[in-house]
A and B are shown apart, each in its own frame.
Chain A
């Protein structure tokens, strides 16, 4: 390497007509030739009396500036947006809720750290995504659950759904919801036990299904039974607004989800135009939590504009079917994880047509390009 550079310098000097320049370049360059990192243009440069000559500049492809937001900062925003709901959950269900949240987060983060260690991969805990998964899972659990179940669910979410498929961005379904569904199937009794000291009745949605009256004001405020984070529509909407304003999510998925679900309920709900019933359906269960915080999960929603709308509608219809025709009053979790599975297909079908093409002319162009 050093010799190569020496040769290069010599060649350069030879081509230079001036004899004095020759000695100047040679003497100035000699100590630098030993360093292999010296870039050729510097070594071959003519006027070498400037000190900064020997300091190589950073060279990279354009662009040379980057936006401020990073994976970590996005995840931090999501965590902040979930705090109102989490805080209300602790206020509503007591200190046990805090314990469940803490255990779930600790288990998620611990599992990810351990996975990275065992798989000999770069540690990815610092991107905060494991905290988001742990927190979301906890918000989807009833407060009565055993703490080790929460830990197990979080570990399943991170290990099976996320890390085994390649880590962040590679999970094929929302890890938190997969964890919840795993627990729901494994421990159905504990997962549907919503009886606490404060609330002895069924969840509003279950009450609604069996034809009982529900108090909409309580549902919007969140003073009902349910999972830790799903009850307060107000707190969830505050968090959602924060995400919308900061541009972390946009309305395409949540709006198409909620609107299509509402339409489905109006048509098939069996209550016709009943605003009270509709409002209860919209604010009950995990719909708000699911629509704004889980259906919008980056890795498991389509990235194309129309794909997101199609996906939202698919989720709305699926949730409607599960809630109205299924045995359970709930349906958001299953709707989203099933929706996640068809995301690649939706993406393929809704791939954007490049700028300056129509659908037909792009087809033509592709044929030409493959020749």
Chain B
């Protein structure tokens, strides 16, 4: 029985008011655009251009490096300046294509599907694959892989993940308000792929206007329901969302398709719509620029590849020098080293905070209050797991279900002793995953 929420979870300060009423503004691309070849989960893309080449807006500049991979497109017209390793948000150096914008905005001829209502499954899937669409909520899993489960007829729910449970983020919210037709269109296209599926648009109830609007727009559609969910982090985590909307449960060894579900994020569905109906590849996304250090919080439609510094300049910079800047939400985003890194397909936000709570809170001994166990949506024991992780005790870690951690950060958030539980668990989990891959 669906209960509109999941067990556990936390209620961090929302902070969405800062940018929630700011309409999406289109940003003009900067002079130098950088496109890392690895913007998704899976094999890096292979460059199709080399130094000196002329490229157009919408041109494919790198092709998928395998089935689980995605091509990359230029979001400007100009010349390829270099193909070289560049620093990205996480601090890694990743091979990237650097393009100098000639500011002429010459576009390629987009070739949409003639009529997606008549198109075959294969044609739609190919359009999605060729447009380089990946999960735009943050994980970056290639969408065409998700949309091609072994048995498409077994899929009974397509869930539009419009929960946007991360604090401060309002990009999905604005998208829903401003382009609801595209979101619904995207969902309808996905529903075309799954004959037996019902569409669910899942929205947290802190966005009542979106719920009302989308309910009104889908009133006559018998294949789509809009569901208001309790506002709680991490409502938008795939496993939790499936549980909240359908009552079904999956663990880390399963895929949503195993319980007949396909989950796609708001921006991803809009990209699917753009790809299929307009023939446009994935080359822009909505980015929220917010936080108490930001002069004028905004939501932008950003050409992918633009540097964070240019995005920040568009809001007028910082009012005060922030202690921390974050790419993504405050719960799962990356703390950034600097602003001179490119935005990618999975960049949901740029946040600047005057005070970094983490740096100012001192870690003390665990008092076994059990709050982490209470809030863990994965129903595991973060305090015990973090202990195992600190001792590098992989065996106990796995036996206690440590691999089930979804790294949502709820345990670290709630811990009164301010212990970095998520970080400890995450590191041993990564080591264990790497070891497994070796075998």
Q: Which residues of A are at the interface with B, using a C-beta cutoff of 8 A?
A: 15, 17, 39-42, 44-47, 50, 52-53, 55-67, 69-71, 73-74, 124, 127, 129, 166-170, 298-299, 303-305, 351-357, 362, 365-366, 369-370
Contact = CB atoms under 8 A, between A and B. Distances in A.
Given A17-B82, A124-B365, 15 more contacts: A39-B337, A41-B91, A42-B338, A45-B338, A52-B321, A58-B335, A60-B423, A62-B332, A62-B334, A64-B324, A65-B331, A71-B416, A169-B368, A356-B250, A362-B401
Contacts of B416: 67, 69-71, 73-74
A355 B330 contact: no
Contacts of A58: 323-324, 335, 356, 358-359
Contact of A356 (B254, B321, B400): B254
19 contacts: A41-B91, A47-B340, A57-B335, A61-B335, A61-B420, A62-B332, A62-B333, A62-B334, A64-B353, A65-B413, A66-B358, A66-B418, A168-B365, A169-B366, A303-B370, A305-B374, A353-B401, A355-B251, A366-B399
Contact of A169 (B326, B359, B365, B423): B365
Given A61-B426, A62-B332, A303-B383, A167 B365 contact: yes
A336 to B, nearest CB: 16
B383 to A, nearest CB: 7
B145 interface: no
Q: Which 6 residue pairs across A and B have the least CB separation, nearest first?
A: A356-B251, A63-B409, A303-B370, A354-B401, A61-B423, A41-B337
A360 to B, nearest CB: 13
Contacts of B25: none
Nearest to B423: A61
A366 B367 contact: no
A272 to B, nearest CB: 38
A60 B420 CA distance: 10
B90 to A, nearest CB: 10
Nearest to A248: B369
B398 interface: yes
Contacts of B418: 66, 70
B367 A299 contact: yes
A15 B357 CA distance: 38
A71 B361 CA distance: 12
A44 B87 contact: yes
A64 B356 contact: yes
Contact of B368 (A17, A57, A298): A298
Given A47-B309, A352-B380, A355-B251, A60 B422 contact: no
B381 interface: yes
A369 B333 CA distance: 29
A343 to B, nearest CB: 9
Contacts of B370: 298, 303-304
A42 B409 contact: no
Nearest to B11: A67
B253 interface: yes
A41 B332 contact: no
Interface in B373-424: 373-374, 377-381, 383, 395, 398-401, 403-404, 407, 409-410, 412-418, 420, 422-423
A356 B239 contact: yes
A270 B91 CA distance: 72
B180 interface: no
Contacts of B407: 62
Given A52-B321, A355-B239, A356-B404, A63 B368 contact: no
A131 to B, nearest CB: 14
Interface centre among A61, A124, A353, A366 (most CB of B within 10 A): A61
Interface centre among B321, B358, B404, B426 (most CB of A within 10 A): B358
Contacts of A170: 365
Contacts of A370: 395, 398-399
Interface centre among A39, A47, A59, A362 (most CB of B within 10 A): A59
A362 B358 CA distance: 35
B361 to A, nearest CB: 6
Contact of B373 (A57, A352, A369): A352
A124 B362 CA distance: 12
Contacts of B335: 57-62, 64
B295 interface: no
A367 to B, nearest CB: 10
A71 B364 contact: yes
